[in-house]
Amino acid sequence: MGKGCWLLLVGVILSCKIPGVCLKLRWKRKNEPAPLQPATQQLQLLLQQKQQQQLDQSPPKGAGKWRKKLLTVFVLLGILTSIWLFWHLNQKIILRREHTLANMCDERARMLQDQFNVSMNHVHALAILVSTFHHGKHPSAIDQKTFGEYTERTAFERPLTSGVAYALKVLHSEREQFEKQHGWTIKKMETEDQTLVQDCLTENLDPAPIKDEYAPVIFSQETVSHIVSIDMMSGQQDLENILRARATGKGVLTSPFKLLKSNHLGVVLTFAVYNKDLPPDAIPEQRTEATVGYLGASYDVPSLVEKLLHQLASKQTIVVNVYDTTNASAPISMYGTDITDTGLLHVSSLDFGDPLRKHEMHCRFKQKPPLPWMAINASVGVLVITLLVGHIFHAAICRIAKVENDCREMMELKARAEAADVAKSQFLATVSHEIRTPMNGVLGMLKMLMDTDLDAIQRDYAETAHASGKDLISLINEVLDQAKIESGRLELEDVPFDLRNLLDSILSLSSDKSNDKGIESAVYVSDRVPEVVVGDPGRFRQIITNLVGNSIKFTQDKGHIFVSVHLVDEMKGTSDVGDKVLQQGLNLVQDMSSKTYNTLSGFPVVDRWRSWENFKMLNGKDAKDDPEKIRLLVTVEDTGVGIRLDAQDQIFTPFVQADSSTSRHYGGTGIGLSISKHLVELMHGEIGFVSEPGVGSTFSFTGAFGKGEVSSLDSKWKQYDPVVSEFQGLGALIIDNRSIRAEVTKYHLRRLGISVDITSSLESACTYVSSFFTTSAFAHLAMILIDKDVWNQETVLQLRSLLEQHRKNCKLNVSTNLPKIFLLGTSMSPVERSKLKTSGFVDNVLMKPLRLSVLIACFQEALGGTKGKVRGKKMSTLGSLLREKRILVVDDNKVNRRVAEGALKKYGAIVTCVERGHDALNKLKPPHTFDACFMDLQMPEMDGFEATRQIRSAESEVNEKLASGEASIEMYGNVSHWHIPILAMTADVIQATYEKCLKCGMDDYVSKPFEEEQLYLAVARFFESGL
C-alpha cells in the first residue's frame, strides 16, 4: 500500500517535472528583458505587444498558458508538500518510538543494575559476616547450620541470587587435617569446563586431585547445599573468579554458564574473605596472603530478569536480551529468546560492578512498527485536496480559455458583421445611386418629350411612362427600406396626399398587365372619405400595389379586380349602409341564384364582408376613437384562383407561398404579403382576407390616417384645376347593365363635378333621352357613356339620330350642346378604337381602368377648345413663383454656382452668389432683402450645416429683441419675424442627410443639379402664399 502511494507520487512528480522545467526556463526568459526598461516604456511596450497580439489574433492564449503554468506549479507544490508532510510525520513517529524504546530499555537496565548491585552489596555484607564470625571468633560462631539458616532467612535481601556458599582456602598441606576435621574429602567438579551442563551429585564425584591449594565449600545456603565439599578451584570459571576476587578484593563475576544442578544460565559472584582489614591500596600479593576463604553467590540471570520485567508495565511491548560482552566479538546471551529483527534496537550498558565484565541490555519492540497511518492519511489528504483544487482550477482555466476563445470568435464575427453591414449600406448607397443615374436619364427624356407638342393621348402615355419611372425609383427606395422593416427602424411619414389620385396612379401602373389579361380593373372611393388624408402615401401605395399585383398575378383572363376604399365607420352599422357599392356587396349573398352576379365583371366573388369580420376595430373592441383620425378600410377584390384552404393560415409568413408550385407558375418571392402586414400594423391597422378556391380572394386592411386640408396639397389636382372647373355642372348619362360598374364610373365623373344619371340599357337610354328633351336637365347633358357590354351599333345609331333630331327640332347651334358619346372598353386594340372613332359612332373611346387624367384628356378633346391649356402651366408657375425674388446662392464650386445662378435666373429670380459660409452669414444678417437662400452643404471652412445654424441663431436673436420690444420693427425692415427659407443643395438625397438638414434649421433640400419639378415643389412651399 505504502509503496503504491510512493509510486503514484513519483509518477506524478515525473509527469509534472518536464513542463515544470520548461516553465522555469520560460519564466527566466520572459523576465529577463523586463527590468531593463523604465515603467512607462514598459507599459508602452506592453500596449504595443497587446496590439501586436490583437493583430495576431491570439492574445488570450498567452494568458491561458500563464494560468496553466501557475496551475502546474501549484500542483507540484501540493505534491511536494504532501511528500514532505509524509516524511516529516513519519520521522516524528519513528523518533518517538525510538525515544520510547530507549526510555524503556534504560529503565529496565537501570533497575536490573540497581537490583544486582543491592544483591551484590548483600553478598559483600555476608562475606564480611563470615570474616567476622567465622574467622574472627575462636571457636567459630558459624557452622553449616547457622549459615544455612541465616542465609535462608536473609534471602529476601538477595532476590536475584539462587544461593550463596562459602568456600575455605585450604592449602595442600592442610588438606588431610581439614578432611579429617570435617569428615569428608574434597571433591572436584565433574568437568573443568563449567559451561557444560553438569550433573551434580556429590556422592558420585571424585576426590579432588592434588593441587597447591583448594577451595572446598564449607557453608552453603539450603538451595545449593549440593555443592558442599566441592572444590571450587576445580572449576575453570570459579577458579578464575576466585583468583581475581582475592587479587582485587572486590566482587567479580564469571561469564555466564549453566549453574550446577538447576542448569539455569547464571553467573557467579565471588567475594574474597580476608583475615584482616586490608588497606584499599593493598597489592594483590598481600591480598592473596590475607585471603582465608571465598564467598560465592550464584545469580540466576533469566529468572532475575524475568522477575524484574514482571514488575514493570508494558512488558509485552518490548523484547529484552541481556548479553555478556566481555568478549566483544562473541557476546554471550544471558537472557532472551532468539532475536527477530523488528527494526529498532536499543542497547543499554549494564554495570554490575565488575570492571572486567561488560554487560549489555538489548531492547526491541515485539511487533514491527505499524504503518504510519496518520502520516499517510495526512499526506494523501493533502495530495487529494491539491489534486482536487488543481482539477477545479484546471476546469476553470479551460472554461476561461473556452469563453475567451468564444469571445474572440464573437468579436471576430461581430467585426465581420459590422464590416458586412458597412459594406451593405455602401453597396445599397452605390446601387441606388447607380440605378438613379440612368433612371434620371429616362425621366429627363420623358420630361423633354412632354415639353414637346403632344396630343392628349400621347401626353398621357408620356406621363404614365414618367410616373412609372418615378414609381420605379420610389420602389427602389422601398426595396432599400425593406430591411428597415425587419430591424424595426421603419418609420412612417406623415404627409398629406390625395388618396384618389394615388389609387388612380396605382391602377394605371397595373393597367397594362390587367388589360393584357383581359381583366377589368376599377377603383372606387366612398364619398365620405376626405379628399386629402395625412399618412404615408408611399407605404399605402406599396400595400395596395402589392395586393393588386397579387390579384393580377392570380387572376386568369376573366373577371375583375376591384379596389374600394371606405371609412371604417361606414361598416359599423350594417343596417344603414348608405354607400351603394357596399350595399351591393351585401346583396351579393342574396343574389347568388341569378345567372350573372352583380359584380364588376359578372363573375362570382367571395363575400367581402367576411374578410374584415375579425377586425377588432370594426367589432368595437378597439375603444379609442380619435376625432382627428380617420380609419380607412381598403378592399381589394379579385376573381382569381383563390387560396387553398390549408394554405390560408400561413399566407402572411415571409417567403411562404400557398403552393410550392406557385412560384413556378406565378413567380414572386412570397415576401410581399408579409411586408404588407408589417406596414398595415405600422399604420395601426389590421389585414385580413377571405378566399375560396376557384372563386377568388378578397383582401381587406384598415389603417389610421389624419384628416388633411385640401390646400395643403400642391398636387396634380392643381394642374387640372381650371379644366375641372370647366366640367363643373355638366351632366352625363351612363349606360351600363351592371350597377356596380356604373357606380364606379359615376364616382369618377363626380370627381370632375359632373352630375350623373344611370340607365341599364341602350333602349332605356333612348327613352330617358326622349323624355328629358324638354327639361332643362337635358341642356346640361354633355356626354353619354356606354359600356362595351351593352354596345350595339344600331341602337347607338338610333340614339344618335334621336339626338340629331332633337337638335334640329330645337334649332340649336351645330357646334354646341350635342351630347358626346363615349364608349367604355376594357381591352380594345388601337385599330379597333380608331375605326370606331372614324366611323362616327362614338366621339371617343375610354379605356379602363378609368382615371381622372384620362377622363380629362378625353373630354377636353371631345368637348374641344381647352386643349393645350394644361401644357406649360407649371413652367409659368415656377416662373411666377420666382420672378423678382432675391435669392442668395452659397457654393464654393464656381461651376456649380454659375449653373445654379443660370437656372434660377431663367425663372426670373435675382440671384446673388457668394463663395463661402462666412459671406452668407454677412449677407443674411437681418435686416436683409433676400427671399431665399440655396446653400451647398459641403464647403471648406464653414459647411452648410454650420452656416445655417449660425444664421438661425442670428435670426432668433433678432426675433427675441423684436418680441421683447428692445428693437423696433423699423430697424429690421418692418419684418416682425425673421426666417429666411434655406434650402440645402445636395447631390445625395438620402433620408439621413435630409434629417440632418432639418435638424440644423434648414427648411428643405433640392437635389443638385436642379430638377425643375423638385425645385418647384420646394420653392412653392415658401412663395406660394405670397402670390
Partner 1 sequence: MDFVNQLQRKFIDYSSSLHREGIVDDQFTQLRKLEDENSPHFVMEVASLFFEDCEKLINNMAIALEQKQGVDFKQIDECIHQLKGSSSSIGAMRVKNACIAFRSFSGAQNREGCLRCLQQLSHEYSLLKNKLQTLFRVSVASRCLYVCLVIFCRENEPAEPFPDVLVFQLEKQIVAAGGSIPRVH
- 1010 burial (CB, 10 Å; 0-12 / 13-18 / 19+) is buried
Considering the complex, state which of residue 396 and residue 448 has its C-beta at the smaller distance from partner 1: 448
Smallest gap from residue 796 Cβ to partner 1 (A): 43
Closest-CA residue to 261 (of 215, 221, 210): 221
Provide the sign of the torsion angle of the four alpha carbons 531, 533, 537, 539, taken in this order: negative
Contact 223, 261 (CB under 8 A): no
Residue 864 interacts with partner 1 (CB under 8 A): yes or no:
no
Q: Cis bond leading into 279, ω under 30°?
A: no
Residue 448 interacts with partner 1 (CB under 8 A): yes or no:
yes
165-173, 312-320, 631-639, 1003-1011 -> range binding partner 1 (CB under 8 A): 1003-1011
Residue 262 interacts with partner 1 (CB under 8 A): yes or no:
no
Smallest gap from residue 419 Cβ to partner 1 (A): 14
Residue 892 interacts with partner 1 (CB under 8 A): yes or no:
yes
17-25, 72-80, 183-191, 889-897 -> range binding partner 1 (CB under 8 A): 889-897
Smallest gap from residue 877 Cβ to partner 1 (A): 17
Ranges of beta strands (E only) in 432-591 are 495-498, 520-525, 532-535, 560-567
The residue count for binding partner 1 (CB under 8 A) is 24
19-27, 472-480, 729-737, 1006-1014 -> range binding partner 1 (CB under 8 A): 1006-1014
Closest-CA residue to 335 (of 353, 355, 315, 313): 315
Considering the complex, state which of residue 824 and residue 890 has its C-beta at the smaller distance from partner 1: 890
Residue 1014 interacts with partner 1 (CB under 8 A): yes or no:
no
Among positions 893-922, residues that touch partner 1 (CB under 8 A) are 893-896, 898-900, 902-903, 905-906
Smallest gap from residue 18 Cβ to partner 1 (A): 50
Considering the complex, state which of residue 50 and residue 906 has its C-beta at the smaller distance from partner 1: 906
Residue 875 interacts with partner 1 (CB under 8 A): yes or no:
no
Considering the complex, state which of residue 782 and residue 888 has its C-beta at the smaller distance from partner 1: 888
Residues in the chain: 1027
Provide the sign of the torsion angle of the four alpha carbons 82, 84, 87, 91, taken in this order: negative
Residue 753 interacts with partner 1 (CB under 8 A): yes or no:
no
Residue 706 interacts with partner 1 (CB under 8 A): yes or no:
no
Closest-CA residue to 160 (of 316, 309, 304, 361): 304
Closest-CA residue to 936 (of 924, 923, 947): 947
Smallest gap from residue 637 Cβ to partner 1 (A): 42
Smallest gap from residue 907 Cβ to partner 1 (A): 10
Q: How many Å apart are CA 937 and CA 917, to the nearest integer?
A: 10
Ramachandran angles phi, psi of 596, nearest 5°? -100, 150
What is the per-residue DSSP string for 323-385?
Answer: EE-SSTTS-EEEE-------S--EEEEE--S-TT--EEEEEEESSPPPP-HHHHHHHHHHHHH
Considering the complex, state which of residue 504 and residue 892 has its C-beta at the smaller distance from partner 1: 892
Ramachandran area for residue 249 (φ above 0: left; ψ -120 to 50: alpha; else beta)? left
Contact 921, 950 (CB under 8 A): yes
Residues with Cβ < 8 Å from 818, sequence gap 6 or more?
Answer: 803, 804, 807, 812
Considering the complex, state which of residue 630 and residue 900 has its C-beta at the smaller distance from partner 1: 900
User: CA separation (Å) from 803 to 767, 800, 814?
Assistant: 12, 5, 12
x/- mask, partner 1, residues 969-988, rule CB under 8 A, reads ------------------x-
Among 136, 441, 840, 872, binds partner 1 (CB under 8 A): 441
Give the other-Cβ count within 10 Å of 557's Cβ.
Answer: 9
Smallest gap from residue 1014 Cβ to partner 1 (A): 13
Smallest gap from residue 708 Cβ to partner 1 (A): 33
Closest-CA residue to 850 (of 515, 455, 459): 515
Among 938, 953, 968, 991, binds partner 1 (CB under 8 A): 938
Residue 993 interacts with partner 1 (CB under 8 A): yes or no:
no
Q: Which residues pair with 692 in a beta bridge?
A: 696
Residue 440 interacts with partner 1 (CB under 8 A): yes or no:
yes
165-173, 439-447, 849-857, 993-1001 -> range binding partner 1 (CB under 8 A): 439-447
Angle between helices 456-487 and 852-863 (to 10 degrees): 170
Among positions 70-129, residues that touch partner 1 (CB under 8 A) are none
Among 118, 197, 445, 828, binds partner 1 (CB under 8 A): 445
Closest-CA residue to 504 (of 732, 741, 788, 717): 717
273-281, 655-663, 912-920, 1007-1015 -> range binding partner 1 (CB under 8 A): 1007-1015
Considering the complex, state which of residue 789 and residue 988 has its C-beta at the smaller distance from partner 1: 988
- 941 burial (CB, 10 Å; 0-12 / 13-18 / 19+) is exposed
Considering the complex, state which of residue 737 and residue 1007 has its C-beta at the smaller distance from partner 1: 1007
Smallest gap from residue 896 Cβ to partner 1 (A): 4
Smallest gap from residue 917 Cβ to partner 1 (A): 15
Provide the sign of the torsion angle of the four alpha carbons 615, 617, 620, 621, taken in this order: positive
Smallest gap from residue 472 Cβ to partner 1 (A): 16
Smallest gap from residue 1018 Cβ to partner 1 (A): 17
Considering the complex, state which of residue 201 and residue 987 has its C-beta at the smaller distance from partner 1: 987
Q: How many Å apart are CA 9 and CA 44, to the nearest integer?
A: 45
Smallest gap from residue 431 Cβ to partner 1 (A): 13
> What are 926's three cell numbers?
437681418
Considering the complex, state which of residue 283 and residue 448 has its C-beta at the smaller distance from partner 1: 448
Residue 703 belongs to what H/E stretch? strand 696-707
DSSP 142: -
Considering the complex, state which of residue 729 and residue 902 has its C-beta at the smaller distance from partner 1: 902
What is the per-residue DSSP string for 780-835?
Answer: HEEEEEEEGGG--HHHHHHHHHHHHHHHHHHT--SSSSPPEEEEEESS--HHHHHH
137-145, 438-446, 521-529, 582-590 -> range binding partner 1 (CB under 8 A): 438-446
Residue 444 interacts with partner 1 (CB under 8 A): yes or no:
yes
Smallest gap from residue 427 Cβ to partner 1 (A): 13
User: CA separation (Å) from 78 to 11, 151, 373?
Assistant: 14, 72, 19
x/- mask, partner 1, residues 383-422, rule CB under 8 A, reads ----------------------------------------
Q: How many Å apart are CA 625 and CA 892, to the nearest integer?
A: 53
Q: Which residue has the cell 351603394?
A: 580
141-149, 852-860, 886-894, 943-951 -> range binding partner 1 (CB under 8 A): 886-894
User: CA separation (Å) from 151 to 144, 161, 478, 601, 970?
Assistant: 10, 11, 139, 160, 161
User: CA separation (Å) from 510 to 695, 797, 849?
Assistant: 22, 34, 9
Residue 1010 interacts with partner 1 (CB under 8 A): yes or no:
yes
Considering the complex, state which of residue 159 and residue 908 has its C-beta at the smaller distance from partner 1: 908
Smallest gap from residue 34 Cβ to partner 1 (A): 36
Residue 940 interacts with partner 1 (CB under 8 A): yes or no:
yes
Smallest gap from residue 435 Cβ to partner 1 (A): 14
Smallest gap from residue 903 Cβ to partner 1 (A): 6
Q: Which residue has the cell 435638424?
A: 999
Among positions 550-579, residues that touch partner 1 (CB under 8 A) are none
Considering the complex, state which of residue 83 and residue 1019 has its C-beta at the smaller distance from partner 1: 1019
Given the rule CB under 8 A, which residues bind partner 1? 437, 440-441, 444-445, 448, 892-896, 898-900, 902-903, 905-906, 938, 940, 987, 1008-1010
